[in-house]
Structure 1
Amino acid sequence: MQMSAIFGETLSFMQDTGEPIDLVVFGDDMFARYETLDGYTVVYDEEVGRYCYAEVRGPTLESTGVPADERAPAGLNRHLHASKEVRNQRVRSHLDGM
């Protein structure tokens, strides 16, 4: 099996609203992190149907509920990451499912 990683490539993603959004991607098919073009980490929020700014809550990244095409919440830091344990767990889960 051959996997490729993406380190800072800008890709376009479709949201449930039908609107595309350009995000900078870091990762591979097992675990990836997404940022806005100005460096804010985002996650896809199923309830909102759009990519939203993320914040660190415990070991994970969770949605703030604020869509990424709006102004970032005050005080939000850029380039946030989930913990190494969360990343490793997702990779293990992916591998176990293969």
Structure 2
Amino acid sequence: MSGPAHFKLRLHVAGNAPNSARAIANLHALCQKHLPERHEIEIVDVLREPGRALADHVLMTPLLVKLSPAPVCKIVGNLSETPPVLEALGLPSLTR
């Protein structure tokens, strides 16, 4: 029997834009609270790495991609609405 799933997340942002900064802060807070010691976050600045944005089919930012565990899912926005983000990630919401 294995332990809790390890989450691999990629957040695409556009430089220091306000929504990008909020998304980064919200993602770190969410992971600290709901995925302590079982998450990996990669931040991709699409302004610095436009090729990555093209390869990952990023049309708008901020964009969070849950790479694992499957299924892959994408969430657009600054991640300020915690319950829908948790639901999209397949995590139980403690606020319900």
TM-score by length of 1: 0.29
Structure having the larger proportion of residues in helix: 2
- Bigger relative contact order (CA 8 A; separation at least 6): 2
TM-score by length of 2: 0.30
Structure having the larger proportion of residues in strand: 1
